[in-house]
Amino acid sequence: MPVHNADIAAVFEQIADLLEISGDNPFRIRAYRNAARVIGGLGLDVAAALGGGRGVPKLPGIGADLAGKLREIADTGSCKLLGELQRRVPAAITELLKIPGLGPKRVKQLHDALDVATVNDLRAAVREGRVRKLKGFGDKTEGRIRQALAHGGAGGGERMPLAVAAQYAESLAGHLAKARGVETVTVAGSYRRMRETVGDLDILVAGRDGGAVIERFCGYDEVKEVLARGNTRAAVVLKSGLQVDLRLVAPDSYGAALHYFTGSKAHNIAVRKLGQAKGLKINEYGVFRGAKRVAGDTEESVFAAVGLPYIAPELREGSGELDAGRRGKLPELIELADLKGDLHAHTKASDGHNSIREMAEAARGRGLAYLAITDHSQRLKIAHGLDSRRLGAQLDEIDRINEGLKNFAILKGAEVDILEDGSLDLPDAVLERLDLVIGAVHSAFALPRRKQTDRVLRAIDRRCFTVLAHPSARLIGAREPIDLDMARVIRAARARGCFLELNAHPERLDLNDAHCRMAAEEGVLIALNSDAHSALDFDNLRFGIGQARRGWLEAKDVLNARTLAQLKPLLARTMGG
């Protein structure tokens, strides 16, 4: 069984949980959690990188000891420390940490005093009224646990796709903006960092009448339950199940608060450490030297206080952005307005909802100058995929429509299935008539790594191949990514002069951020495409831009940030057979 970054991260997380319940040194626990985050967010496949007997690459927060454990997990899939901890503490007990209100101390107490080791044990203890008798527990705490258990065991914890959360966030922010004394409302947190999913919403309000804002927040129509309610903070659960935290600050603390609540945790800790080294204390109210407030009106002032330029929210993950900032090496991130065209869209010929002309006009309405029509190929029966004859007819139609278009070009393409053996789902004769061939995996998702990678590489090898669409084939929250050696795919793409897609559909956002960064570092251009199935879907490009920025992409890294004139020679290498 190959060991991937996610497996290694899971072992480190498990160790951290068990150490925490054992009451171990909190900083040691933090080191394991930090390592899990670093490994989990890494583009490079660690186990594969160690394969050739090479040393563990130097990673932030991973010293000699953790590097040793990294190698051990890569080799064996687990590590001795985890085994020892599991003999001391029942492994299932970490499930209890997911219950809101239960942390390591209380879980340990439940275990030591009541012999509770599983969610079912806890259920029984609650039913028999034993929990409320424990020191430090009470009727309310037991009631909260009972309620959490009734709501389907451990924690709600499901993350929501960014695009879904955006609908709740934008209407709630609009609602709050109407409260008395409000100056600014910003949705901060992972939402502002444009993470592909969010666990909750953090809304920051700058204003002068806290009571009115908290009142309006807790009284919002969509609120199902108020979890906490103070003078400067409140938390609710919406009917959709989404948790929303509200924070209130005075307008002159707005910059410091916005920085603080945008996070991530790792980024904040790193910034505060920098501040500490300069004798500064940084919190959500400002930057302080002793009792004197020296910055905090704006985010820029907070960064400046610790000697950094402004760092865009999408970069604030504690993955090298502080270092890059200090050295003046921050990327000039791509923006929506940089896109000149879109290279992946469907029409009602396959599974889209609009005609070629309607799609082109919608794209032009967004300020784009070109659009590739890329309907599905014949194998995808469910999507009414096109065979050679139907595709040929579509190409003739595109020629006719193009003749009547001013300042806009429709490119001829197809989203061709990469079959299980790596061959393409349409014959060369018709593919050679296209401006670009987008290849995609839509079947045999479960192939083992070697076979899956060879399959994709074989497709990329074809001269006519242009763009690898949604390379991991994942659907966020619904389908795991295929097991692909992305480093090999990226190297092959570079060698063949073809491109990888960042599919902007909110369920895909594929490539992910780490792989975008990896591709750009290797010099492989990214095609940032909507995969629009209707004229409305071009709206999704903004989520793709968010992901691209998280992947440190600049306009120069993106294929369709080029004008049509610049694009054509890049496609020509693969065009026309």
Interface residues with DNA (CB under 7 A)? 25, 27-28, 30-32, 60-67, 81, 97, 99-107, 132, 135-142, 144, 189, 200, 202, 228-233, 243, 245, 265, 268-269, 272-273, 276-277, 279, 281-284
Residue 369, both tokens: 């100058």
Q: What is the DSSP string of 384-414?
A: T-B-HHHHHHHHHHHHHHHHT-SS-EEEEEE
Closest approach, Cβ 171 to DNA, in A, equals 21
Residue with Cβ nearer DNA (233 or 389) = 233
Q: Report the candidate in 381, 348, 342 with the shortest Cα–Cα distance to residue 362.
A: 342
Residue with Cβ nearer DNA (108 or 491) = 108
Residue with Cβ nearer DNA (109 or 355) = 109
Closest approach, Cβ 225 to DNA, in A, equals 12
- Cα end-to-end span (Å), the chain: 40
Rg over CA atoms, the chain: 26
Residue 429, both tokens: 């004769």
Closest approach, Cβ 195 to DNA, in A, equals 13
Listed in sequence order, the residues at least 6 apart from 543 whose beta carbon sits closer than 8 Å to its beta carbon are 162, 163, 194, 504, 505, 506, 509
* Partner residues linked to 374 by β-bridges: 413
Residue with Cβ nearer DNA (276 or 563) = 276
Closest approach, Cβ 275 to DNA, in A, equals 7
Residue with Cβ nearer DNA (132 or 463) = 132
Closest approach, Cβ 291 to DNA, in A, equals 11
* Long-range contacts of the stretch 233-238 (C-beta < 8 A, 24+): 237/156, 238/168, 238/172
Beta carbons of 482 and 471 less than 8 angstroms apart: no
Alpha-carbon distance of 110 to 108, in angstroms, equals 5
Closest approach, Cβ 483 to DNA, in A, equals 29
Residue with Cβ nearer DNA (246 or 426) = 246
Residue with Cβ nearer DNA (28 or 400) = 28
For 61-75, b where at least 16 C-beta lie within 10 A, e where not — what string? bbeeebbebbbbbbe
Closest approach, Cβ 72 to DNA, in A, equals 12
User: Pairing state of beta strands 200-207 and 182-187?
Assistant: antiparallel
Q: Report the candidate in 444, 192, 457 with the shortest Cα–Cα distance to residue 315.
A: 192
Residue 376, both tokens: 């599905």
Residue with Cβ nearer DNA (231 or 407) = 231
Closest approach, Cβ 43 to DNA, in A, equals 19
Q: What is the helix (H) or strand (E) element at residue 240, kind and residue range?
A: none
